[in-house]
A = this chain, B = another copy of it.
Amino acid sequence: MLPIAEQRGVHLTTDPIDPEVRFVGDRRQLASGLGNLLENAVKYSERGDAVEVRAALASCCPKLLAIVHAETSTGVLQPLEEISGLTHDSGALFVVDAVTSLGGVDVRVDDWGIDAIYSGTQKCLSAPPGLSPVTFSPAALECIEKRKVKPQSWYLDVGMVRNYWEGAKRTYHHTAPISANYALHEALRIVLEEGLEARFERHRRNHERLRDGLEELGFRFVVEPEYRLPQLNTVWLPDWLKDGPGRARLLEEYNIEVGGGLGDFAGKVWRIGLMGNSSTPNHVDMLLAALRRMRDEA
């Protein structure tokens, strides 16, 4: 960026960055984001203006940091423990979306210092959709109890929901979806019957089976191996495959549904789920066989 700035007569300076400040994220995405910011700053500055880059973190004093554990639009598994440490160092509460992680990969709520976490029943737990299991740390409960402004949403008035769940005097918040609770209970029994470790291992093995087959067919993974989700595989399409027609054909001819890309990824990647009871070698083989036939006919 420096040569462009010089050419445009814009002074570009950086503050020496505190070695304590750390950035967590995809190196290329971070570089690209920072690059865009800088490019715009240089582009829209007048000759003689100054553009200054500084790293600020503690100064914004966030009250909470919220993050998705298993990020299904990209297929990234976030390193929660590391991020939790940085979050608590800055005094914020750590909130985690574990919708797609719970039951598919390890989720250590207390070990990882998670203050509030919610999941869904319809992903790796393989129960019907409709419920959201949640849990809160003592720090989060204290925050809920001490809040002075009434929550804007009855639905998310967590203090009232808590009283409904465990209040000394029974209070009413909503009519509990009884049948969904029974279904979740049975799904959790099935999870424990298999065993958590065995379940994670099954998700890992089937992901590897899928990965090997996909790479053989020319697909390339979007995410680096260490941050890759076993239950949601995001892959760049090979040249022989078109997004829309490919997915339509998979669904119509083979009764297999895969997700398309979102945002910048639209039309370029597929998101292939292997969650809970559908993470089996048979499901993997069915998809790979269909893709092989499609490739041979392309």
Cβ of A152 under 8 Å from chain B? yes
Residue of B nearest to A130 (CB): B177
A172 to chain B, nearest CB (A): 9
Contact size range, A: 10 to 19
Task: Identify A128's interface contact among B122, B129, B155, B179, CB under 8 A.
Answer: B179
Asked if B120 and A175 make an inter-chain contact with CB atoms under 8 angstroms apart, the answer reads yes
* A interface secondary structure, majority: loop
User: Which B residues touch A179, using CB under 8 A?
Assistant: 128-130, 180, 183
* Interface flag for A24 (CB, 8 Å): no
Q: Mark A166-206, 1 if CB is under 8 A from B, else 0.
A: 00000000011111100100000000000000000000000
How many copies of this chain are found per oligomer? Answer: 2
A178 CA to B180 CA in the complex, in Å?
11
Q: What sequence of 0s and 1s flags, for each residue 133-160 of chain A, a beta carbon within 8 Å of any chain B beta carbon?
A: 0000000000000000000110110000
Q: Which residues on the B side are within 8 Å of A153 (C-beta)?
A: 152-153, 155-156
| Chain B residues positioned under 8 Å from A130 (CB to CB) | 130, 177, 179-180
Contact of A129 among B152, B156, B175, B183 (CB under 8 A): B175
Some 6 contacts from A to B, beta carbons below 8 A apart, are A128-B180, A129-B178, A129-B179, A130-B179, A152-B153, A179-B180
- Ranked 9 nearest A-B pairs via Cβ: A130-B177, A128-B179, A153-B153, A152-B152, A155-B155, A129-B175, A129-B177, A130-B130, A130-B180
Q: Name A's B-contacting residues (CB within 8 A).
A: 120, 122, 128-130, 152-153, 155-156, 175-180, 183
